[in-house]
Amino acid sequence: MNDRIDVTARYRALDAAHHMHPFSDMAELNRIGSRVIVRAQGVYLWDSQGERIIDGMAGLWCVNVGYGRRELADAAFAQMQTLPYYNTFFKTTHPRVIELSAMLATLTPEPFKRFMYCNSGSEANDTALRAVHRFWQAQGQPQKRYVIARRNAYHGSTLAGATLGGMNDMHEQMPSMLEHVAHIDQPYWFGESHGEDVETFGLARARQLEAKIIELGAENVAAFIGEPFQGAGGVIFPPSSYWPEIQRICRKHNVLLIADEVIGGFGRTGEWFAHRHFGFEPDVITMAKGLTSGYMPMGAVALSDRVADAIVEGGEFNHGFTYSGHPVAAAVALANLKLLSEEGIVARVKEDTGPYFQARLREALGAHRIVGEITGAGLVAGIQLAEDSTKRKRFANGDDIGTLCRDLCFKGNLVMRASGDRMLLSPPLVVTHAEIDEIVAKAKAAIDETARALELA
Ligand code: PXG
């Protein structure tokens, strides 16, 4: 035990001295000390003190096949020995990127047959932007360059990703943002409606897109980008009226529709892609995370035939990365996609574990004193904390209460993320019924304790 404390203390000291964490208040974190995660298996993590933690977030929404799958490690090992790296810039290719592309063509809807690769979700969105601009140039309409996105969206942390995203606390730290990006409001009924019913609200939020297109001039608008459901923004599931109306407006005004499937892709909602859950048809799909289950960094952009044909016919497209289609990442992605499909993991989310998870959460927390709504499908959920669940009244200091609840979860050895006053769950897709029971019980215990701390229990 003392050895473990020594090891932890040593790691914490070195971490504080040398490692800057993403999206973290480093002064505060260095005072408290990070939890050192040393290994993982299935849906569980272990820290350097020997504590076992159940991962209700699949890492950062990415470890879809769960931790410790030998098949992915073997695929990486074999590929590193055969061909650890080669590029695809100058008239060369390699087997794994070919096989991965052919496999993705079978998993994506019909009009998607061609794929571009990168290293992350942010780069996928940057690439999508470059591709839609290139598409409109090739169509002889280079002035179509505006991209419309939503407030409280998350599209990554590069200059383009962060500009497209609608996170105020990111924008405030960006004195210079990408040009030709505009934002409309999000379809967040619980938080932003004023007495309208859900579907009327969904239509009104979608119609902001049409108003923005008209304001900018349809001849100047290249694309609309949206997460099918907002992930980091709070697992905000739009009303069912929303996406069909967005699609109608995009088609009417000849604006491309980009689905950011970085979180929604590869089974999260029980469909291979979340846009299928909401029933719309994008022109471009961006993906990352579940593509490799996070075992290797990789992102991809799927281009529909309309977009891909125009880019192919248009001559050289001057875009790409040293690691586009990296052989080891491609080998791991292939092994991962094989597991997801051959073991029926995605199908099980739709038919079994997804409905079980959603039902258990609602049973345990649907009528809780400080829960306003529960959203989600498959293995993703958002739990809205509220001061008065019956009146849709939010806490004045909701961010602090979300953080308190998250910290209580972590203390109880459950990873549950907070986004403002919403608690988020997105476990590995291999989670069992018993593990779902454990996640729900621990989430409920933390929410009960939060209510007690607020003297609302
Ligand atoms: N699009 C979406 C929808 C995402 O959720 C990105 C793009 C960017 O991906 P990369 O691979 O560049 O990070 C994301 C990433 C969180 C959290 O705390 C969410 C993400 C990343 C880090 C933290 O919820 N999403």
Tens digits of per-residue pLDDT, 218-272? 999 999 999 999 999 999 999 999 999 999 999 999 999 999 999 999 999 999 9
User: Ligand 1 centre and the CA of 233: distance in Å?
Assistant: 10
Please indicate whether residue 262, judged by its CB atom, sits closer than 6 Å to ligand 1: yes
Residue at 291 is within a domain: yes
Question: How does pLDDT run across 154-207, given as a tens digit for each residue?
Answer: 999 999 999 999 999 999 999 999 999 999 999 999 999 998 999 999 999 999
Question: 20 in a domain, yes or no?
Answer: no
Q: What is the pLDDT of residue 457?
A: 59
Q: Which domain holds residue 166?
A: 70-342
What pLDDT sits at residue 3?
76
Asked if residue 261 has its Cβ within 6 Å of ligand 1, the reply is: no
User: Would 413 be classed as within a structural domain?
Assistant: yes
Contacts of residues 322-326 at CB distance under 8 Å and 24 or more positions apart, as own/partner, are 322/87, 323/118, 323/119, 324/87, 324/88, 324/89, 324/116, 324/117, 324/118, 325/88, 325/93, 325/94, 325/97, 325/100, 325/117, 326/85, 326/117, 326/119, 326/296, 326/298
Does 198 map to a domain? yes
Boundary of a domain, candidates 315, 342, 369? 342
Domain co-membership, 247 together with 393: no
Ligand 1 center–CA 58 separation, angstroms: 13
CATH number of the domain at 380, please: 3.90.1150.10
Is the residue at 47 inside a domain?
yes
| 155 CA from centroid of ligand 1 (Å) | 7
**How far is the centre of ligand 1, averaged over its atoms, from the C-alpha of 125 (Å)?**
11
**Could you identify the atom of ligand 1 that is nearest to the CA of residue 424?**
24
Domain identity same for 267 and 133:
yes
> In 119-264, at which residue ranges do the beta strands (DSSP E only) sit?
146-150, 181-184, 221-226, 256-260
Q: Are residues 222 and 357 in the same domain?
A: no
Cβ-Cβ contacts under 8 Å for 98 (sequence gap 6 or more): none
Euclidean distance between CA atoms 448 and 427, whole angstroms? 21
Our answer on whether the CB atom of 382 is closer than 6 Å to any ligand 1 atom is: no
CB 402 within 8 A of CB 385: yes
Given 273, 307, 342, the domain boundary residue is 342
**Do 338 and 359 share a domain, yes or no?**
no
Which of residues 279, 309, 342 is at a domain's end? 342
369 C-alpha to ligand 1 centroid (Å): 31
| Nearest ligand 1 atom to alpha carbon 125 | 7
Please tell me the distance between residue 121's alpha carbon and the centre of ligand 1 in angstroms.
7
Q: Examine the domain organization and report whether 280 and 144 are in the same domain.
A: yes
What pLDDT, on a 0 to 100 scale, did the predictor assign at position 1?
55
Query: What secondary structure, in 3-state letters, does 268-308 show?
Result: CCCCCCHHHHHCCCCCEEEECHHHCCCCCCCEEEEEEHHHH
- Residues 95 and 151 reside in one and the same domain: yes
Place of tokens 């579907």: 199
Atom of ligand 1 lying closest to residue 288 CA: 11
289 and 389 in one domain? no
- Are 325 and 351 within one domain? no
- 230 Cβ inside 6 Å of ligand 1: no
Residue 374 DSSP SS3: strand
- What is the chain's pLDDT, residue by residue, as a tens digit (457 residues)? 567 779 999 999 999 999 999 999 999 999 999 999 999 999 999 999 999 999 999 999 999 999 999 999 999 999 999 999 999 999 999 999 999 999 999 999 999 999 999 999 999 999 999 999 999 999 999 999 999 999 999 999 999 999 999 999 999 999 999 999 999 999 999 999 998 999 999 999 999 999 999 999 999 999 999 999 999 999 999 999 999 999 999 999 999 999 999 999 999 999 999 999 999 999 999 999 999 999 999 999 999 999 999 999 999 999 999 999 999 999 999 999 999 999 999 999 999 999 999 999 999 999 999 999 999 999 999 999 999 877 789 999 999 999 999 999 999 999 999 999 999 999 999 999 999 999 999 999 999 999 999 987 5
- Position 4 scores a pLDDT of 74
Any domain includes 326: yes
Do 292 and 430 belong to one domain?
no
Written as six digits, the tokens of 394 are 């939010």
In a domain, 27, yes or no: no
- Indicate the top mutation candidate among 55, 118, 158, 262 to test ligand 1's pocket, ranked by most ligand atoms within 8 A of CB: 262
Q: Please give the distance, rounded to the nearest whole angstrom, from the Cα atom of residue 211 to the centre of ligand 1.
A: 28
Per-residue pLDDT at 214 = 98
The enclosing domain of 186 has a CATH number of 3.40.640.10
Same-domain check for residues 328 and 355: no
Query: Both 251 and 388 in a single domain?
Result: no
CB of residue 259 inside a 6 A radius of ligand 1: no
Question: How many domains does the chain contain in total?
Answer: 2
156 C-alpha to ligand 1 centroid (Å): 5
Q: Give yes or no: residues 296 and 355 share one domain.
A: no
Residue whose CA is at the smallest distance from ligand 1 atom 21: 60
Query: How many C-beta atoms lie closer than 10 Å to residue 114's C-beta?
Result: 17
110 assigned to some structural domain: yes
Structure tokens at 51: 């504590």
User: Do residues 104 and 300 make contact, with C-beta atoms less than 8 angstroms apart?
Assistant: yes
